[in-house]
Structure 1
Amino acid sequence: MSTASPLAETTLRRWRLAIFAIFTASGLSIATWASRVPAIKDALGIDNIQVGLMLLMAGIASIAGLSLSSVILARFGARRGMLGAMLTFGAGVATIGIGTDLVPSYAVVVLGLVLFGLGNGAVDVMMNVEGAAIEKQVQKTILPLFHAFFSFGTVIGAGIGALAAATGTGVLAHTLAIAAVIGAIALVSIAQVPPRAATMDPDAPDDPAAPQGWRARLDVALSAWREPRTYALGLVMLGMSFAEGGANDWLALGVVEGHGGEEALGAVGLAVFSVSMTVVRLFGGPLVDRFGRVAVLRVLALTSALGLLLFILAPTVPLVFVGAALWGAGTSLGFPLGMSAAADDPARAAARVSAAATIGYVAFLCGPPILGLISEHVGLLNTLYVVVALIVVSGFASGAARPLAGSAADTSPRRRRRR
């Protein structure tokens, strides 16, 4: 892959705004589902095992989307790939509402979650590849800011979910409205993404230095799976992704069932987590540029572990919310900094970002259903100790995120010492 040449400021600005919007739409879709889990559970009359199985189906579909993302990037590029993926997960959100209220059916909700997972799994890899490409264009750490917009989406989604729960708004009306918003964002945003030659997709066919033929480009896209650093970064991201995914799907239910809160308080707890994560992501880039990835990741892993322990053990709901805030803050930068580390070498950034994102999202998406299955035997709050252990492992493995020697992220002796 050849390194993309600098873009015109207007083109870069539009591209950046488009990817911000796509990250936001993804977060919005996830929080819409997560904030209504208690209502969906009650409407269908199911238990935690059945909720966990629904999440497992969504996770399997998401893995399929993650696996297909490299093929989609190599064959179609990010513009068409992201459009198709966003329309797919938007349709999934609508189908979840149909299966809850219009034709109450466990199978229909599962179908909605399959579409939701397939589309989100694919777009998550592609939007991270695009974010890494923009990061290289501006030559500063901004992937945390993109992930802040994902968190904005979850904050907005959780807030709307809390309002819908408090006012008795049905899941169908809620999800149809959100699906329409996602579709509009998709159509407007994709038009602002530059052609493949200007991005870090697997190389564009018209780049003379690129492998010719989409199968050759696909081979480049899959090459990162043969590199040990990919798996080291995956370990860093695994604990934090598990913590974030577990919060998105089980935090609200943990407040309701584990601490005796009302359904609306569960949605508020998720909003507290999301707001805290968003704030740290907003200011995370300058912190990383000042102190380095490794130091920041280790401090945040400690913060996340302590916050989750407080969430589990807190005797009052206000302390539960404090724990959720620390949990969210500590979890905030694990995934984006893993993506940033994977993109240190622009010549292979797309392949490495795709592979690292896949590992992180497998944990993000498959962790929650596993937690659901375990919770039926030991209780939901006790199950979260598994997440605490994984966060600790992530903290110990953070050295893998140290910038590659000679990369754009390691351009001065001062920064090399700090990282």
Structure 2
Amino acid sequence: MSGDAPAAGADRTGLRARTAVYAVFILNGFALSSWIARIPSVRDALGLSQSALGLVLLCGSIGAVAAMPVAGALVIRLGRVRTVTAGACAVTAGLLVTALGVDGLASPVVTAAGLLLQGAGTSTWDVAMNVEGAAVERRLNRSIMSRFHAGFSLGTVLAAGLGVLLLAAGVPTWAHLAGAVALALTGALVAVRSFLPERERPADGSAEHHPGVGLRRAWREPRTLLIGLMVLCMAFVEGTANDWLALGLVDGYGVSHTVGVAGFAVFVVAMTVGRVLGPLLLERFGRVASLRGCAALAVGGVLLFVLAPSLPLAVLGAAAWGVGAALGFPLGMSAAADEEASAAERVSVVSSVGYAAFLAGPPLVGFLAEHVGTLDALLAAAAASAVALAISGVARPHAAGVPVGAPARSGSTPS
């Protein structure tokens, strides 16, 4: 991909769309992490055991995984703008119900129902913004998907930092989540107005004009499914940190909830830095080598976090874990979207497989935590990283597609 910056005014539409994609990624991460920051206090407020908490978190994952297979079809039928809008509305409604379940009714069932809706909205929003991000990459001819995902991580950092302050100030869950989703929804509605123009669709809403492979065929492609498996492993690595890293510090190192959330903030800061630097790694080493290096670092980071003899070393492990988890998901999305015509279908399939990690992860780690303790249960993330390391070669740029993330040609630089 050419690294030459567009001439002034040469592609204002593409540059505005790039800014809009950054915005929706940041807001998606902000909304999700606002909930994550409340998990330790929600566990105590509802009096949940580790396994019961895992089952409540599972509902969010069920919603996410259930919506994934349909999200690609929604993008094709409704377009990226309306799909992101629908997802943002569902996230807003879901987190408001979750807040009601925690503070208003003290009901794990209502809380779980809210997370079910929130998960569906998050995954729908996720697929649509990744398809738009891939379209912007092609429009600008620049490898910047990892930086879009850095925007997501920046949103999680901002939400985690805000969560520390609000927890310390004793702000209730309902006020925290209501404010977060109001900001996320308003921002998303403004941002999508600058997305790239989409192809006109037939008046009957059919997809006959669409030249892609189709969802059914995409589900039978070995490369697409293996990319999904790799993304699943790295999503498990990231999701385990999202759900359990703060609790691992609280239960394993005897720190307060505030310190536990601060440790999670270290993880997301490190992951954000890794995603910002991603294009530099891609230029120098290419997609596959970058993925392998990150997966190996994630293995080491998780091991250090779990086995560290002191809290500072555990926090260092959290930082390495974050950098290692940085590129798996975004580069998996780029690999799935190598061919523009089939990007929506393949991103939907890869996301569906990958989000299964969020379905299986919470109850699996919760079950392990009941038997071996929260900290040792996190070793499952190291095992998942090792699997991703072994199969990373499947993300090699598709010969027939746009080589997003391939080693740069002479003289090219990433955005």
TM-score (norm. length: structure 1): 0.90
| Cα deviation digits, residues 152-181 of structure 1 (max 9, x gap) | 011011111111111211111111110111
CA distance in 1, matches of 2:55, 2:406: 50
CA distance in 1, matches of 2:357, 2:176: 28
CA distance in 1, matches of 2:85, 2:406: 39
Which of 362, 366, 369 lines up with 1:368 in the alignment? 362
214-223 vs 395-404, which moves further: 214-223
Report how far residue 141 of structure 1 moved: 1.3
The answer as to 2:293 corresponding to 1:290 is no
CA distance in 2, matches of 1:158, 1:27: 10
Counterpart residue type for residue 388 of structure 2: S
Q: In the alignment, is the contact (CA less than 8 A) between 2:285 and 2:407 conserved in 1?
A: no
Alignment of 1:9-408 (within 5 A): 9-197=11-199, 204-205=200-201, 213-214=206-207, 217=210, 220-405=214-399, 407-408=401-402
CA 1:393–1:37 in 2, change beyond 3 Å: closer, same or farther? same
The match for 1:200 is: none
Coordinate RMSD, CA, aligned = 2.4
> After the TM superposition, which segments of 4 or more aligned residues of structure 1 sit over 4 Å from their partners?
215-219, 410-416
Report how far residue 357 of structure 1 moved: 1.9
| Cα deviation digits, residues 57-85 of structure 1 (max 9, x gap) | 11111111112202311321111111011
Unaligned runs of at least 5 residues, structure 2 = 1-5, 411-415
| Cα deviation digits, residues 285-313 of structure 1 (max 9, x gap) | 12102210111111111111000001101
Counterpart residue type for residue 385 of structure 1: L
| Cα deviation digits, residues 354-399 of structure 1 (max 9, x gap) | 2112222222453223211222122112211222111001001111
Counterpart residue type for residue 213 of structure 1: S
Counterpart residue type for residue 319 of structure 1: L
CA 1:21–1:240 in 2, change beyond 3 Å: closer, same or farther? same
CA 1:344–1:105 in 2, change beyond 3 Å: closer, same or farther? same
CA distance in 1, matches of 2:315, 2:256: 14
The match for 2:3 is: none
Report how far residue 410 of structure 1 moved: 7.9
Unaligned runs of at least 5 residues, structure 1 = 1-5, 198-203
CA 1:74–1:244 in 2, change beyond 3 Å: closer, same or farther? same
Q: In the alignment, is the contact (CA less than 8 A) between 1:128 and 1:357 conserved in 2?
A: no
Equivalent pairs: percent with the same residue? 43
Report how far residue 401 of structure 1 moved: 1.0
CA distance in 1, matches of 2:344, 2:183: 29
Report how far residue 102 of structure 1 moved: 2.3
Any idea what SS the aligned residue of 1:269 has? helix
TM-score (norm. length: structure 2): 0.91
CA distance in 2, matches of 1:255, 1:24: 26
CA distance in 2, matches of 1:213, 1:115: 27
Report how far residue 216 of structure 1 moved: 7.2
Q: In the alignment, is the contact (CA less than 8 A) between 1:148 and 1:279 conserved in 2?
A: yes
CA distance in 1, matches of 2:372, 2:185: 40
CA distance in 1, matches of 2:194, 2:205: 26
CA distance in 2, matches of 1:273, 1:61: 25
CA 1:129–1:412 in 2, change beyond 3 Å: closer, same or farther? closer
